[in-house]
Amino acid sequence: MTSIGDAAKASGVSAKMIRHYEEVGLLAAPRRTDAGYRQYSSSEIHTLRFIRHARDLGFSIDAIGKLVALWQDRKRPSRQVKALAQVHIAVLEQKAQEILAMKATLEHLVHCCKGDDRPDCPILENLADEGAQGVAAAAPRRARRGFAQ
């Protein structure tokens, strides 16, 4: 059995996040000493490493909860795990497309900015215009301007 600090070091998960994972149900409440200090077993540290790796891959807390349950169920059908991974791949693909669209917009704005001593700047003007119009209106304007979606 080890303390929360040692569990944090061994798993690569901060003590604050360990407590959070307990609160949201990813990790069962640990045993406590007579003084009330949390104590973690090697199995719980292994679970923390699993959670950290899943977070590193970008899985949501909800998906990690499902993955932990499947990981702990030795009779699970692998198709359920694969389905979760496929859904996550689709989410990552969408995020990647959004990031590429943001990059294209910024590249266009940087290209339009003279970067000299004059105060006018298309980058700031665009940020002010998009901010004033709201997020919902931004996508159609970007499409009309020829920016990638």
Half-sphere exposure of 32 (CA within 13 A, CB side): 6
The CATH number that domain 4-72 falls under is 1.10.1660.10
Predicted confidence (pLDDT) per residue in 2-12, tens digit: 999 999 999 99
Beta strands per DSSP E along the chain: 31-32, 38-39
Confidence band, pLDDT 50/70/90 cuts, at residue 26: very high
> Domains of the chain: which residue ranges?
4-72, 94-144
Give residue 130's pLDDT band: very low, low, confident or very high (50, 70, 90): confident
Lowest mean pLDDT among 74-88, 100-114, 117-131: 117-131
The whole-number average pLDDT for the span 74-96 is 96
